[in-house]
Amino acid sequence: MAKLVMNLDELEYTEFGKGEKFNAERAMISDKIGAEKLGYAVVRLKPGKRAWPYHSHYVNEEFFYVLEGEGTLRHADKEYPIRAGDFICSPPDPKQPHQIINSSDKSLSYIALSTLEHTDVFLYPDSDKYGVWHGKTRDPGDPGSFIVFARKDTAVDYWDGEAE
């Protein structure tokens, strides 16, 4: 049985990212405390970094609570200053992309919480791509998961490749 209570000092962080802009440490909490319908994590960002690209969701809703530090929230083509104690909602709406950036010279950490619907579609305005996932895990190696990222301009017609 999973623990029902977990303290911040018990978290184990894993580093992830790509290139110069994207680098973060994340402590996954959900599976350790028995969560089934919500995903919980604590994310830490070094100065100038962000964890994920600017994106929106069609299905899953996200919530963030800033634990320490200051930064910038990009949301629906606007920027907002954020700091410790701020609550942030990112509803499932393709017109409301979001991204948290550590725009300060000190560490920024926040709680990231989301619904865990098994199917979602994401839009990435900065890179003009989309993503689709279905499955209980987000692991591309899981045979029960379907995950694809592509660009609309490379999409094929519904009947493409079908016998005539």
* pLDDT 10s digits, 99-147: 999 999 999 999 999 999 999 999 999 999 999 999 877 677 888 889 9
Q: What is the pLDDT of residue 144?
A: 85
Read off φ and ψ for residue 137, nearest 5 degrees.
-120, 165
Higher pLDDT, 164 or 109: 109
Contact 13, 25 (CB under 8 A): yes
**Pairing of β 129-134 and β 146-150:** antiparallel
Question: Each residue of 30-46: pLDDT tens digit?
Answer: 989 999 999 999 999 99
Give pTM, 2 decimals: 0.92
Contacts of 161 (CB under 8 A, 6+ apart): none
Higher pLDDT, 63 or 145: 63
Contact 100, 82 (CB under 8 A): yes
Domains of the chain and any CATH numbers: 12-117 (2.60.120.10)
The 8-class DSSP code of residue 91 comes to -
Structure tokens at 44: 């830490």
Flag whether pLDDT at 76 surpasses 90. Answer: yes
